[in-house]
């Protein structure tokens, strides 16, 4: 169910932002997220989700209070300072803007959109951050 919501958000965002070229840009949008299936644009682990949320807050794609609280809860779930090396690596990747999806792909939020979609980068990144935040609630 969540994957369908993420797909609708991503596709809807493109259609709303792309105007009449929306249908043509859906392929470019998929390319902008590294060829990842848009329906899987949610973090595959609690540690990565926490890191991505930190990245999104730090770069002003998400508001800090609610997102920061959720990030702290996720970190508590994965063990905080006692986290496994894999959880620490997932968190570090997320904090650097690397979203690891549930299907094993990675999306670099710092390069989302790139030259393909120009000025839509911030809007796409905000959508991705919002989707990760929504999905992160289910990881608690």
Whole-number Å distance between alpha carbons of 32 and 22: 14
Whole-number Å distance between alpha carbons of 103 and 80: 25
pLDDT in tens, 53-97: 999 999 999 987 889 899 989 988 887 667 788 888 999 999 999
First-to-last C-alpha distance (Å) of the chain = 17
Q: Count Cβ atoms below 10 Å from residue 51 Cβ, excluding itself.
A: 30
Give the SS3 label for residue 107: strand
Indicate the pLDDT class of residue 119, thresholds 50, 70 and 90. low
Note the pLDDT of residue 75: 86
Range of the domain at 51: 2-138
Whole-number Å distance between alpha carbons of 92 and 35: 23
Number of domains in the chain: 1
């Amino acid at each position: 169910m969540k994957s369908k919501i993420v797909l609708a958000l991503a596709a809807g965002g493109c259609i709303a932002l792309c105007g009449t070229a929306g249908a043509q840009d859906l392929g470019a949008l998929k390319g902008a997220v590294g060829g990842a299936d848009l329906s899987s644009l949610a973090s595959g682990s609690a540690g990565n989700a926490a890191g991505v949320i930190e990245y999104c807050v730090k770069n002003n794609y998400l508001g800090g209070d609610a997102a920061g609280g959720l990030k702290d809860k996720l970190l508590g779930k994965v063990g905080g300072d006692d986290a496994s090396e894999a959880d620490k690596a997932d968190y570090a990747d997320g904090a650097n803007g690397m979203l690891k999806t549930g299907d094993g792909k990675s999306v670099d939020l710092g390069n989302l959109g790139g030259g393909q979609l120009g000025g839509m980068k911030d809007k796409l990144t905000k959508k991705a951050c919002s989707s990760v935040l929504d999905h992160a609630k289910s990881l608690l």
